[in-house]
Amino acid sequence: MSALRHFHEIDLHEGNPYGFTASFNPTIAAADGRPCGWVSPDHVGINQGPITLMIENYRSGFLWRLMRCVPAIIAGLHRAGFSGGCL
């Protein structure tokens, strides 16, 4: 949620009717002085689905509960060294 607040504060939604801008680089100064720096002129919606899923998971935990029931996910987490309450 703090990342979403930050994106809102640096105006990543300004002039974009589809949500946050897909690509930006705050280390390259914007011609208009916006704090988000360079912003891609293209509208790419590929980032909107994961944002929605992250918000829902934060709100209810549904996706994490769902994923913990998938055997392949459980095996991968075990191989990565996870144990205990997260599984």
At 80 the pLDDT is: 92
At 84 the pLDDT is: 80
**Alpha-carbon Rg of the chain, whole angstroms?**
18
pLDDT tens-place string over residues 54-63: 899 999 999 9
pLDDT tens-place string over residues 18-38: 667 767 777 887 777 777 777
Is pTM beyond 0.95 here? Answer: no
Tokens of 29: 């100064």
Residue 38: Cβ within 10 Å count: 15
